[in-house]
DNA sequence: GCTTGTGAAACGTTTCACAGCA
DNA sequence: TGCTGTGAAACGTTTCACAAGC
């Protein structure tokens, strides 16, 4: 095995998808899976699956495939999912924030919503779940993040709130942010940011609708889509 | 001007981001913006901004920049946002579905939630908003999509529901899907799909946290997507 | 002067094709 | 035989660098 280079971001995301599929396979009692089968299910190229996994070691057996259980355990380790990751939601009084605060799917995947924040006095003090406790004022973010060892912040605030919270986030020392707010947060050396922009998702779909309206029953094989 | 090739998917998404920024600029009274300034604000390369725009025409003036108003209008046309796009939510009884059904931000961007679906008898018949009317049984999806000219479906259903709804979606003739459900839907020639996977977003952040724990340097990346 | 539009170069990711091994 | 692991090729996107034009 030679010197490995850093895996692409896309590889990390696919690992997460492989993991979910492998968990299902294990429940069904499957012992072994080939890159062919894994790729087929997810509409990927088998070589890509093998490359993705090879970034992290040699997990397969030639002529056989990958042990479902062993591969699953490896991916859990690679993604750092053995331990519970504590999460806080900023903007917990809004619709999306509340929905995420009450969403139970995170716990199944080892993420625990452990604090809630908002700046609206009407919701501060409200209790949405036992684990997360009451909604706290945003000013308390740095202290509470440290007290409760929060590792990930989920942002669901309106656009104008960014000015108010950016410095507090940086002060908090948190290292990862999942941003649903309608502005792009840039990763820096201290904080990794994943941006999810619902408007952009809908607008990119609108673009494809417009393309079809414009009538491109095509001579050439187009395939404008991605994952 | 020579033969244009198809713009990358990433370009389409950036157009959506440019559009939001341009709208803000216009409110602030700005008349002209350079690729330099636009790129600076969004942490992009100026050449990339120019290339993105050049896929669709020559909108700028050399030595000057781009007219904020004209560029904004162009992007609206490119993305097909002049007209209202009707949206339906499948899984409107769940937490995320409800939050999106009640979210008012879509309307501001010209998307109108015009129908709601669920398969839970306890929520069918419930009215969440005047425009969307009452929550309908999923069986009615194909008929209602056609009756109300729904163009985009938003999926917020649990994993096991896919078997039940996949054929109904294809039958409905809808051409675009925004999928929040924890399985990957593949685009085909009839339907474009954007996948947003909350678990994958969190797990990729967990990977970066684990990297830092292991004491490795961080390549600053960011994401979106996807897919 | 300044900024756009664009070929060409650089970079990154995916796919191919096959050696190596069970 | 069957499937993995991997260099090399193919492909796609981003960045550079500069000619063209205001």
Confidence of residue B223 (pLDDT cuts 50, 70, 90): very low
The closest nt to A227, taking CA to C1', is: C14
User: Are A94 and A121 contained in the same domain?
Assistant: yes
Question: What was the pLDDT predicted at B5?
Answer: 79
| Residue range B99-157, pLDDT digits in tens | 999 988 888 999 999 999 999 999 999 999 999 999 999 999 999 999 999 999 999 99
Contact at CB, B187 and A42, closer than 8 angstroms: no
Question: What was the pLDDT predicted at A214?
Answer: 82
User: Are B98 and B57 contained in the same domain?
Assistant: no
Q: Which residues of A138-149 are buried (b: 16+ CB within 10 A; e: fewer)?
A: beebbebbeeee
Contact at CB, A152 and B209, closer than 8 angstroms: yes
Give the one of A20, A81, A197 whose C-beta lies nearest to B206's C-beta. A81
Asked whether residue B226 carries a pLDDT value surpassing 50, the answer given is no
Confidence of residue B222 (pLDDT cuts 50, 70, 90): very low
User: Are A56 and A124 contained in the same domain?
Assistant: no
Query: What does the alpha-carbon distance between residue A34 and residue A68 come to, in Å, rounded to a whole number?
Result: 9
User: Are A103 and A186 contained in the same domain?
Assistant: yes
**Nearest-by-CA chain B residue for A7:** B219
Query: Would the Cβ of A218 be found within 7 angstroms of any atom in strand C?
Result: no
Choose the mutation target among A28, A101, A185, A201 for the interface with B, i.e. most B CBs under 10 Å. Answer: A201
Query: What does the alpha-carbon distance between residue A9 and residue B74 come to, in Å, rounded to a whole number?
Result: 32
User: Are A116 and A156 contained in the same domain?
Assistant: yes
- Distance in angstroms: CA B109, C1' C16: 44
Question: What was the pLDDT predicted at B1?
Answer: 39
Question: What was the pLDDT predicted at B205?
Answer: 98
Q: Which of A78, A96, A128 is the last residue of a domain?
A: A78
- Distance in angstroms: CA B8, C1' D12: 9
State the smallest CA–CA distance between residue B96 and chain A in angstroms. 5
Question: What was the pLDDT predicted at A203?
Answer: 98
Question: What was the pLDDT predicted at A104?
Answer: 86
pLDDT tens, chain A, 227 aa long: 344 578 999 999 999 999 999 999 999 999 999 999 999 999 999 999 999 999 999 999 999 999 999 999 999 999 999 999 999 999 999 999 999 999 888 889 999 999 999 999 999 999 999 999 999 999 999 999 999 999 999 999 999 999 999 999 999 999 999 999 999 999 998 999 999 999 999 999 999 999 998 875 433 222 222 22
The closest nt to A48, taking CA to C1', is: C14
Q: What's the CATH number where A181 sits? A: 3.40.50.720
Q: Which of B78, B112, B127 is the last residue of a domain?
A: B78
User: Are A99 and A185 contained in the same domain?
Assistant: yes
Q: What's the CATH number where A68 sits? A: 1.10.10.10
Non-local (6+) Cβ contacts of A225 within 8 A are: A208, B9, B187, B192, B193
How many domains is chain B built from?
Answer: 2
- Distance in angstroms: CA B165, C1' D9: 41
User: Are A101 and A161 contained in the same domain?
Assistant: yes
Give the one of A106, A178, A203 whose C-beta lies nearest to B16's C-beta. A203
Question: What was the pLDDT predicted at A63?
Answer: 95
In a domain, B171, yes or no: yes
- Distance in angstroms: CA B177, C1' D5: 37
Asked whether residue B4 carries a pLDDT value surpassing 70, the answer given is no
| Residue range B12-64, pLDDT digits in tens | 999 999 999 999 999 999 999 999 999 999 999 999 999 999 999 999 999 99
Question: What was the pLDDT predicted at A105?
Answer: 85
Asked whether residue B219 carries a pLDDT value surpassing 70, the answer given is no
Query: Would the Cβ of A63 be found within 7 angstroms of any atom in strand C?
Result: yes
In a domain, A101, yes or no: yes
Query: Would the Cβ of B67 be found within 7 angstroms of any atom in strand C?
Result: no
The residue written with tokens 């968990």 in the block is: A23
User: Are A33 and A138 contained in the same domain?
Assistant: no
Closest CA to A91 of A4, A43, A14, A158: A158
Question: Which residues of chain A neighbour B198 with C-beta distances below 8 Å?
Answer: 100, 105-106, 196
User: Are B108 and B188 contained in the same domain?
Assistant: yes
Question: What was the pLDDT predicted at A213?
Answer: 86
State the smallest CA–CA distance between residue A22 and chain B in angstroms. 13
User: Are A129 and A59 contained in the same domain?
Assistant: no
User: Are A103 and A22 contained in the same domain?
Assistant: no
Give the one of B79, B81, B201 whose C-beta lies nearest to A178's C-beta. B201
Query: Would the Cβ of B44 be found within 7 angstroms of any atom in strand D?
Result: yes
State the smallest CA–CA distance between residue B70 and chain A in angstroms. 18
In a domain, A226, yes or no: no
Q: What is the mean pLDDT of chain B?
A: 92
Give the one of A176, A184, A224 whose C-beta lies nearest to B209's C-beta. A176
Question: What was the pLDDT predicted at B214?
Answer: 81
CA-to-CA dists, residue B183 to A18, A81, A99, A159, B226, angstroms: 11, 19, 20, 30, 12
Range of the domain at A112: 85-199
| Long-range contact set of residues A34-38: C-beta below 8 Å, sequence gap at least 24 | A34/A65, A34/A66, A35/A60, A35/A65, A35/A66, A37/A65, A38/A66
Contact at CB, B178 and A205, closer than 8 angstroms: yes
User: Are A139 and A187 contained in the same domain?
Assistant: yes
Q: Which of A52, A78, A104 is the last residue of a domain?
A: A78
Q: Please tell me the pTM assigned to this model.
A: 0.92
């Amino acid at each position: 095995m030679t010197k490995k280079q850093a895996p692409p971001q896309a590889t990390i995301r696919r690992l997460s998808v492989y993991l979910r599929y492998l968990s299902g396979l294990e429940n069904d009692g499957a012992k072994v899976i080939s890159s062919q089968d894994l790729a087929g299910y997810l509409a990927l190229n088998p070589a890509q699956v093998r490359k993705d996994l090879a970034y992290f070691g040699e997990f397969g057996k030639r002529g056989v495939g990958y042990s479902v259980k062993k591969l699953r355990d490896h991916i859990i380790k690679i993604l750092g999912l053995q331990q519970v990751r504590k999460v806080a939601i900023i903007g917990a009084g809004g619709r999306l924030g509340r929905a995420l605060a009450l969403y139970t799917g995170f716990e199944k995947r080892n993420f625990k919503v452990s604090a809630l924040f908002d700046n609206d006095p009407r919701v501060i003090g409200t209790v949405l779940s036992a684990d997360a406790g009451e909604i706290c004022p945003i000013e308390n973010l740095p202290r509470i993040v440290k007290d409760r060892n929060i590792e990930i912040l989920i942002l669901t605030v309106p656009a104008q709130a960014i000015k108010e919270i950016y410095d507090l986030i940086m002060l908090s020392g948190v290292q990862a942010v999942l941003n649903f707010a309608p502005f792009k947060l840039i990763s820096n050396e201290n904080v990794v940011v994943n941006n999810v922009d619902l408007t952009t998702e809908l607008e990119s779909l609108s673009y494809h609708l417009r393309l079809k309206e414009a009538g491109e029953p095509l001579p050439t094989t187009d395939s404008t889509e991605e994952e």
